[in-house]
Amino acid sequence: MEPLAPHEKILVDSDIVDDENHGAIACHECHGGNPDDANWKTAHKGVVKDPTYPDATTACGDCHDEINENYQKSLHVSLRPYKLIIDERASSNTVIRNKLGCAMDTHCSGCHSSCGQCHISRPNSVEGGFLDGHLFQKKPPMQEVCTACHGSRIQKEYLGEHEGLLPSIHREKYMKCDKCHTGEEMHGNGKDYAHRYDVENGPKCVDCHKEIYKREAKNVITHRIHKDKASCHVCHSQPYNNCSACHVGKDKQGLAFFKTKSSWVDFKIGLNPLKSEKRPEKFVTLRHVPADKRTFDFYVKDALSNFDTLPTWKLATPHNIRLKTTQNASCNACHGNESLFLLEKDVEDNEKGANKNVLVPVNLIPKKQKWQPK
Protein backbone atom coordinates (compact mmCIF):
# COMPACT_ATOMS: atom_id res chain seq x y z
CA MET A 1 0.00 0.00 0.00
CA GLU A 2 1.33 3.41 -1.03
CA PRO A 3 1.93 5.52 2.10
CA LEU A 4 0.32 8.94 2.38
CA ALA A 5 2.46 12.07 1.97
CA PRO A 6 3.75 13.28 5.36
CA HIS A 7 1.40 16.27 5.50
CA GLU A 8 -1.60 14.19 4.38
CA LYS A 9 -1.08 11.88 7.34
CA ILE A 10 -1.78 14.64 9.85
CA LEU A 11 -4.14 16.98 7.99
CA VAL A 12 -7.30 17.38 10.05
CA ASP A 13 -10.66 17.98 8.36
CA SER A 14 -12.24 21.02 10.00
CA ASP A 15 -15.59 19.23 9.75
CA ILE A 16 -14.55 17.36 12.89
CA VAL A 17 -16.08 20.17 14.95
CA ASP A 18 -19.46 19.08 13.61
CA ASP A 19 -19.04 15.56 14.99
CA GLU A 20 -21.68 15.56 17.69
CA ASN A 21 -19.87 12.89 19.68
CA HIS A 22 -16.19 13.75 19.33
CA GLY A 23 -16.22 17.30 18.02
CA ALA A 24 -16.27 18.94 21.41
CA ILE A 25 -13.14 17.17 22.61
CA ALA A 26 -10.13 19.42 22.12
CA CYS A 27 -6.98 17.91 20.55
CA HIS A 28 -4.84 18.26 23.67
CA GLU A 29 -7.36 16.42 25.83
CA CYS A 30 -6.33 13.17 24.16
CA HIS A 31 -2.95 13.95 22.64
CA GLY A 32 -1.42 16.28 25.21
CA GLY A 33 0.91 19.09 24.13
CA ASN A 34 0.33 22.83 24.49
CA PRO A 35 -2.65 24.11 22.48
CA ASP A 36 -1.70 27.77 23.05
CA ASP A 37 1.87 27.53 21.81
CA ALA A 38 2.32 28.80 18.23
CA ASN A 39 5.74 27.20 17.92
CA TRP A 40 5.16 23.65 16.68
CA LYS A 41 8.40 22.34 18.14
CA THR A 42 7.63 23.31 21.71
CA ALA A 43 3.88 22.84 21.32
CA HIS A 44 4.41 19.15 20.61
CA LYS A 45 6.39 18.47 23.77
CA GLY A 46 4.74 15.51 25.46
CA VAL A 47 2.38 14.83 22.55
CA VAL A 48 1.13 11.24 22.31
CA LYS A 49 0.63 10.19 18.70
CA ASP A 50 -1.77 7.34 19.43
CA PRO A 51 -3.46 7.93 22.79
CA THR A 52 -5.36 4.66 22.39
CA TYR A 53 -2.31 2.41 22.61
CA PRO A 54 -1.34 0.62 24.77
CA ASP A 55 -4.16 1.82 27.02
CA ALA A 56 -7.33 3.38 25.61
CA THR A 57 -8.97 4.11 28.95
CA THR A 58 -8.35 7.85 29.02
CA ALA A 59 -9.01 8.55 25.36
CA CYS A 60 -11.96 6.25 24.68
CA GLY A 61 -12.89 4.50 27.91
CA ASP A 62 -15.00 7.24 29.45
CA CYS A 63 -17.69 6.82 26.81
CA HIS A 64 -16.92 3.43 25.24
CA ASP A 65 -16.45 1.71 28.56
CA GLU A 66 -17.82 -1.69 27.52
CA ILE A 67 -15.47 -1.95 24.56
CA ASN A 68 -12.56 -0.58 26.53
CA GLU A 69 -13.10 -3.18 29.25
CA ASN A 70 -12.09 -5.95 26.83
CA TYR A 71 -9.56 -3.94 24.86
CA GLN A 72 -6.40 -5.45 26.32
CA LYS A 73 -7.59 -8.95 25.49
CA SER A 74 -8.55 -8.24 21.90
CA LEU A 75 -6.15 -10.28 19.79
CA HIS A 76 -5.48 -7.23 17.63
CA VAL A 77 -4.02 -5.56 20.70
CA SER A 78 -2.60 -8.41 22.76
CA LEU A 79 -1.05 -10.50 19.94
CA ARG A 80 -1.23 -13.32 22.46
CA PRO A 81 -1.33 -16.17 19.93
CA TYR A 82 1.92 -14.95 18.33
CA LYS A 83 3.65 -14.89 21.69
CA LEU A 84 2.31 -18.29 22.73
CA ILE A 85 3.35 -19.93 19.47
CA ILE A 86 6.87 -18.51 19.57
CA ASP A 87 7.15 -19.41 23.26
CA GLU A 88 6.13 -22.96 22.50
CA ARG A 89 8.78 -23.31 19.84
CA ALA A 90 11.44 -21.50 21.85
CA SER A 91 14.31 -22.92 23.83
CA SER A 92 13.82 -23.00 27.59
CA ASN A 93 17.27 -21.49 28.13
CA THR A 94 16.79 -18.17 29.95
CA VAL A 95 19.60 -16.33 28.16
CA ILE A 96 18.25 -17.39 24.78
CA ARG A 97 14.71 -16.44 25.82
CA ASN A 98 15.82 -12.95 26.81
CA LYS A 99 17.50 -12.40 23.45
CA LEU A 100 14.44 -13.79 21.71
CA GLY A 101 12.29 -11.37 23.69
CA CYS A 102 14.41 -8.50 22.40
CA ALA A 103 13.96 -9.74 18.81
CA MET A 104 10.20 -10.05 19.28
CA ASP A 105 9.99 -6.53 20.73
CA THR A 106 11.79 -5.21 17.66
CA HIS A 107 10.02 -7.19 14.96
CA CYS A 108 6.73 -8.60 16.24
CA SER A 109 5.31 -6.22 18.85
CA GLY A 110 4.83 -3.34 16.41
CA CYS A 111 2.31 -5.33 14.42
CA HIS A 112 -0.70 -4.58 16.58
CA SER A 113 -3.74 -2.42 16.21
CA SER A 114 -5.56 -0.03 18.52
CA CYS A 115 -8.83 1.93 18.59
CA GLY A 116 -7.11 4.77 16.75
CA GLN A 117 -5.39 2.56 14.21
CA CYS A 118 -8.71 1.22 12.96
CA HIS A 119 -11.17 4.06 13.47
CA ILE A 120 -9.05 7.17 12.88
CA SER A 121 -5.87 6.31 11.03
CA ARG A 122 -4.28 3.59 9.00
CA PRO A 123 -2.32 1.09 11.10
CA ASN A 124 1.26 1.97 12.08
CA SER A 125 2.53 -1.06 10.18
CA VAL A 126 1.65 0.75 6.93
CA GLU A 127 3.05 4.05 8.19
CA GLY A 128 -0.22 5.41 9.57
CA GLY A 129 -1.94 8.61 8.46
CA PHE A 130 -5.52 9.74 8.93
CA LEU A 131 -8.20 7.79 7.10
CA ASP A 132 -10.31 10.88 6.54
CA GLY A 133 -8.87 13.94 8.22
CA HIS A 134 -9.22 12.49 11.74
CA LEU A 135 -12.97 12.07 11.26
CA PHE A 136 -13.97 9.02 13.30
CA GLN A 137 -14.91 6.00 11.17
CA LYS A 138 -17.50 3.79 12.82
CA LYS A 139 -16.68 1.04 10.35
CA PRO A 140 -13.00 0.92 9.41
CA PRO A 141 -12.57 0.99 5.62
CA MET A 142 -11.57 -2.44 4.34
CA GLN A 143 -8.67 -1.60 2.09
CA GLU A 144 -7.11 1.13 4.19
CA VAL A 145 -7.34 -0.72 7.48
CA CYS A 146 -8.12 -4.45 7.32
CA THR A 147 -6.19 -5.47 4.23
CA ALA A 148 -3.52 -2.87 4.90
CA CYS A 149 -2.20 -5.44 7.39
CA HIS A 150 -3.86 -8.61 6.10
CA GLY A 151 -2.58 -8.00 2.62
CA SER A 152 -0.40 -10.74 1.24
CA ARG A 153 -2.88 -13.48 2.08
CA ILE A 154 -6.39 -12.18 2.71
CA GLN A 155 -6.41 -9.20 0.35
CA LYS A 156 -5.00 -11.11 -2.60
CA GLU A 157 -7.38 -13.98 -2.06
CA TYR A 158 -10.47 -11.95 -1.36
CA LEU A 159 -10.01 -9.49 -4.21
CA GLY A 160 -8.84 -12.16 -6.67
CA GLU A 161 -5.40 -10.65 -7.19
CA HIS A 162 -3.66 -13.96 -7.83
CA GLU A 163 -3.22 -14.56 -11.55
CA GLY A 164 -5.83 -16.92 -12.93
CA LEU A 165 -7.91 -16.99 -9.74
CA LEU A 166 -11.26 -15.39 -9.06
CA PRO A 167 -12.20 -13.13 -6.18
CA SER A 168 -14.27 -14.57 -3.37
CA ILE A 169 -17.93 -14.87 -4.25
CA HIS A 170 -18.57 -12.79 -1.13
CA ARG A 171 -16.52 -9.97 -2.62
CA GLU A 172 -18.63 -10.14 -5.76
CA LYS A 173 -21.67 -9.72 -3.53
CA TYR A 174 -20.07 -6.47 -2.29
CA MET A 175 -19.45 -7.82 1.19
CA LYS A 176 -16.75 -6.16 3.24
CA CYS A 177 -14.81 -7.69 6.12
CA ASP A 178 -17.23 -6.47 8.78
CA LYS A 179 -20.08 -8.45 7.26
CA CYS A 180 -18.54 -11.61 8.76
CA HIS A 181 -16.03 -10.19 11.25
CA THR A 182 -18.20 -8.09 13.53
CA GLY A 183 -17.13 -5.30 15.83
CA GLU A 184 -17.84 -7.61 18.77
CA GLU A 185 -15.36 -10.13 17.40
CA MET A 186 -12.72 -7.48 16.72
CA HIS A 187 -13.09 -5.80 20.11
CA GLY A 188 -12.86 -9.05 22.06
CA ASN A 189 -15.18 -10.35 24.73
CA GLY A 190 -12.78 -10.32 27.65
CA LYS A 191 -11.53 -13.87 27.17
CA ASP A 192 -7.82 -14.37 26.76
CA TYR A 193 -7.85 -16.56 23.68
CA ALA A 194 -4.80 -18.61 22.77
CA HIS A 195 -5.70 -18.82 19.09
CA ARG A 196 -7.80 -16.77 16.70
CA TYR A 197 -9.75 -19.89 15.80
CA ASP A 198 -10.83 -20.19 19.44
CA VAL A 199 -12.66 -16.86 19.41
CA GLU A 200 -16.25 -17.75 20.26
CA ASN A 201 -17.95 -15.06 18.21
CA GLY A 202 -15.74 -15.55 15.18
CA PRO A 203 -17.61 -16.18 11.93
CA LYS A 204 -18.82 -19.58 10.79
CA CYS A 205 -20.09 -20.30 7.28
CA VAL A 206 -23.27 -21.79 8.69
CA ASP A 207 -24.12 -18.51 10.42
CA CYS A 208 -25.45 -17.43 7.03
CA HIS A 209 -25.67 -20.72 5.15
CA LYS A 210 -28.06 -22.22 7.69
CA GLU A 211 -30.01 -24.32 5.22
CA ILE A 212 -27.31 -26.51 3.70
CA TYR A 213 -28.11 -29.64 5.73
CA LYS A 214 -31.89 -29.37 5.35
CA ARG A 215 -33.63 -31.97 3.23
CA GLU A 216 -34.93 -29.49 0.70
CA ALA A 217 -31.54 -27.81 0.26
CA LYS A 218 -29.59 -28.02 -2.96
CA ASN A 219 -26.63 -30.45 -2.65
CA VAL A 220 -27.92 -31.67 0.69
CA ILE A 221 -26.54 -35.17 0.13
CA THR A 222 -23.05 -33.91 -0.58
CA HIS A 223 -23.15 -31.60 2.43
CA ARG A 224 -24.44 -34.28 4.76
CA ILE A 225 -21.90 -36.87 3.56
CA HIS A 226 -19.00 -34.49 4.16
CA LYS A 227 -20.23 -32.96 7.43
CA ASP A 228 -17.50 -33.18 10.07
CA LYS A 229 -15.24 -34.90 7.54
CA ALA A 230 -14.10 -31.94 5.48
CA SER A 231 -14.20 -28.22 6.28
CA CYS A 232 -16.18 -25.94 3.97
CA HIS A 233 -12.89 -24.61 2.58
CA VAL A 234 -11.77 -28.04 1.41
CA CYS A 235 -14.51 -27.99 -1.23
CA HIS A 236 -15.07 -24.27 -1.73
CA SER A 237 -11.76 -22.44 -1.63
CA GLN A 238 -9.44 -21.82 -4.54
CA PRO A 239 -5.64 -22.11 -4.32
CA TYR A 240 -4.13 -19.58 -1.91
CA ASN A 241 -0.89 -17.95 -0.91
CA ASN A 242 1.81 -19.75 1.10
CA CYS A 243 5.05 -18.27 2.41
CA SER A 244 8.29 -19.69 3.73
CA ALA A 245 11.37 -18.90 5.78
CA CYS A 246 10.97 -15.49 7.36
CA HIS A 247 14.23 -14.12 8.75
CA VAL A 248 14.53 -10.95 10.76
CA GLY A 249 17.51 -8.71 11.43
CA LYS A 250 18.86 -5.17 11.49
CA ASP A 251 20.65 -3.40 8.65
CA LYS A 252 23.85 -1.31 8.88
CA GLN A 253 21.85 1.68 10.08
CA GLY A 254 20.25 -0.39 12.82
CA LEU A 255 16.87 -0.48 11.12
CA ALA A 256 14.78 -3.62 11.50
CA PHE A 257 14.00 -5.68 8.40
CA PHE A 258 12.56 -9.05 7.45
CA LYS A 259 13.11 -11.32 4.48
CA THR A 260 10.96 -14.19 3.34
CA LYS A 261 12.46 -16.85 1.10
CA SER A 262 9.53 -17.46 -1.21
CA SER A 263 5.79 -17.39 -1.61
CA TRP A 264 3.67 -19.53 -3.86
CA VAL A 265 0.04 -20.25 -4.65
CA ASP A 266 -1.07 -23.76 -3.80
CA PHE A 267 -3.94 -25.76 -2.38
CA LYS A 268 -3.33 -28.53 0.15
CA ILE A 269 -5.70 -30.59 2.20
CA GLY A 270 -4.27 -32.02 5.40
CA LEU A 271 -5.31 -33.47 8.73
CA ASN A 272 -6.92 -30.97 11.07
CA PRO A 273 -4.33 -29.83 13.64
CA LEU A 274 -6.94 -27.98 15.73
CA LYS A 275 -9.63 -30.59 15.97
CA SER A 276 -12.27 -29.53 18.47
CA GLU A 277 -15.99 -29.54 19.07
CA LYS A 278 -16.17 -26.33 17.08
CA ARG A 279 -13.95 -27.67 14.29
CA PRO A 280 -14.50 -31.41 14.22
CA GLU A 281 -13.51 -31.96 10.57
CA LYS A 282 -10.90 -34.54 9.75
CA PHE A 283 -9.68 -32.75 6.63
CA VAL A 284 -8.97 -29.03 6.39
CA THR A 285 -7.07 -26.70 4.10
CA LEU A 286 -3.50 -26.07 5.26
CA ARG A 287 -1.31 -23.07 4.53
CA HIS A 288 2.46 -22.97 4.84
CA VAL A 289 3.40 -20.14 7.21
CA PRO A 290 6.76 -18.36 7.09
CA ALA A 291 7.93 -19.80 10.43
CA ASP A 292 11.48 -21.14 10.21
CA LYS A 293 13.91 -22.74 12.65
CA ARG A 294 16.36 -19.95 11.90
CA THR A 295 13.98 -16.97 11.88
CA PHE A 296 15.77 -15.28 14.80
CA ASP A 297 19.37 -16.32 14.02
CA PHE A 298 20.44 -12.66 13.74
CA TYR A 299 19.75 -12.28 17.46
CA VAL A 300 20.50 -15.71 18.85
CA LYS A 301 21.23 -19.13 17.36
CA ASP A 302 18.94 -22.09 18.08
CA ALA A 303 16.28 -19.85 19.60
CA LEU A 304 13.52 -22.13 18.32
CA SER A 305 14.97 -25.42 19.49
CA ASN A 306 11.46 -26.84 20.03
CA PHE A 307 10.42 -25.92 16.52
CA ASP A 308 8.92 -29.32 15.76
CA THR A 309 6.23 -29.02 18.44
CA LEU A 310 3.97 -27.12 15.99
CA PRO A 311 3.36 -27.58 12.26
CA THR A 312 4.49 -25.13 9.61
CA TRP A 313 1.47 -26.17 7.53
CA LYS A 314 -1.32 -24.62 9.58
CA LEU A 315 -5.08 -24.69 9.53
CA ALA A 316 -6.18 -22.08 7.02
CA THR A 317 -9.47 -20.48 6.08
CA PRO A 318 -8.65 -19.00 2.67
CA HIS A 319 -10.77 -15.99 1.77
CA ASN A 320 -11.39 -16.91 -1.87
CA ILE A 321 -14.55 -18.95 -1.61
CA ARG A 322 -16.46 -20.03 -4.72
CA LEU A 323 -19.52 -22.19 -5.12
CA LYS A 324 -17.82 -24.21 -7.85
CA THR A 325 -14.15 -25.06 -7.64
CA THR A 326 -11.79 -27.42 -9.43
CA GLN A 327 -11.87 -29.92 -6.57
CA ASN A 328 -15.66 -29.99 -6.19
CA ALA A 329 -16.41 -30.31 -9.92
CA SER A 330 -17.14 -34.00 -9.34
CA CYS A 331 -16.54 -36.59 -6.60
CA ASN A 332 -13.42 -37.87 -8.29
CA ALA A 333 -12.00 -34.43 -8.84
CA CYS A 334 -11.04 -34.80 -5.19
CA HIS A 335 -11.40 -38.47 -4.26
CA GLY A 336 -8.25 -40.30 -5.22
CA ASN A 337 -6.58 -37.07 -6.34
CA GLU A 338 -3.28 -37.24 -4.46
CA SER A 339 -2.09 -33.85 -5.72
CA LEU A 340 -4.65 -32.07 -3.51
CA PHE A 341 -3.42 -33.66 -0.29
CA LEU A 342 -0.38 -32.77 1.78
CA LEU A 343 1.77 -35.85 1.53
CA GLU A 344 5.17 -36.56 3.04
CA LYS A 345 6.86 -35.88 -0.29
CA ASP A 346 5.43 -32.33 -0.32
CA VAL A 347 7.24 -31.33 2.86
CA GLU A 348 10.90 -30.35 3.13
CA ASP A 349 13.07 -32.77 5.11
CA ASN A 350 13.78 -30.27 7.90
CA GLU A 351 10.04 -29.72 8.42
CA LYS A 352 8.86 -33.31 8.36
CA GLY A 353 8.99 -33.59 12.15
CA ALA A 354 6.99 -30.41 12.67
CA ASN A 355 4.29 -31.53 10.24
CA LYS A 356 3.98 -35.21 11.13
CA ASN A 357 0.49 -34.73 12.56
CA VAL A 358 -0.97 -32.92 9.58
CA LEU A 359 0.44 -35.02 6.72
CA VAL A 360 -2.10 -37.26 5.03
CA PRO A 361 -1.03 -40.91 4.81
CA VAL A 362 -1.80 -42.22 1.31
CA ASN A 363 -4.20 -44.81 2.72
CA LEU A 364 -6.35 -42.01 4.24
CA ILE A 365 -6.95 -40.27 0.92
CA PRO A 366 -10.62 -40.88 0.06
CA LYS A 367 -10.88 -43.58 -2.58
CA LYS A 368 -12.19 -42.88 -6.08
CA GLN A 369 -15.97 -43.26 -6.29
CA LYS A 370 -17.58 -45.66 -8.75
CA TRP A 371 -21.02 -44.19 -8.09
CA GLN A 372 -21.60 -40.48 -8.21
CA PRO A 373 -24.76 -38.61 -7.22
CA LYS A 374 -26.47 -36.74 -10.07
Q: Which residues bind another protein (CB under 8 A)?
A: 5-7, 10-14, 17, 20, 23-24, 26-28, 31, 33-38, 40, 43, 127, 134, 152, 241, 243, 246, 249-251, 253, 255-263
Helix (H) or strand (E) holding 151: none
Say whether the peptide bond before residue 54 is cis (omega within 30 degrees of 0): yes
Nearer to another protein, 33 or 273 (CB): 33
Name the nearest CA neighbour of 311 among 267, 355, 245. 355
Whether 199 contacts 75, CB under 8 Å = yes
Nearer to another protein, 5 or 95 (CB): 5
Nearer to another protein, 29 or 65 (CB): 29
Nearer to another protein, 120 or 334 (CB): 120
Whether 334 contacts 285, CB under 8 Å = no
Distance CA 247, CA 286 (A): 22
Helix (H) or strand (E) holding 205: helix 205-208
Helix (H) or strand (E) holding 110: none
Distance CA 42, CA 33 (A): 8
Report the nearest approach of another protein to the CB of residue 266 (Å). 14
209: number of CA atoms within 13 Å, CB side? 14
Report the nearest approach of another protein to the CB of residue 40 (Å). 6
Nearer to another protein, 259 or 324 (CB): 259
Report the nearest approach of another protein to the CB of residue 125 (Å). 8
Report the nearest approach of another protein to the CB of residue 82 (Å). 13
Report the nearest approach of another protein to the CB of residue 183 (Å). 24
HEC string of 286-347? EEECCCCCCCCCCCCCCCCCCHHHCCCEEECCCCCECCCCCCCCCHHHHCCCHHHECCHHHC
Report the nearest approach of another protein to the CB of residue 171 (Å). 20
Nearer to another protein, 259 or 275 (CB): 259
Whether 122 contacts 149, CB under 8 Å = no
Nearer to another protein, 135 or 220 (CB): 135
Nearer to another protein, 13 or 348 (CB): 13
Buried b / exposed e over 43-76, threshold 16 CB at 10 Å, is eeeeeeebbbbeebeebbbeeeeebbeebbbbbb
Name the nearest CA neighbour of 30 among 17, 49, 6. 49
Report the nearest approach of another protein to the CB of residue 257 (Å). 4
Report the nearest approach of another protein to the CB of residue 207 (Å). 30
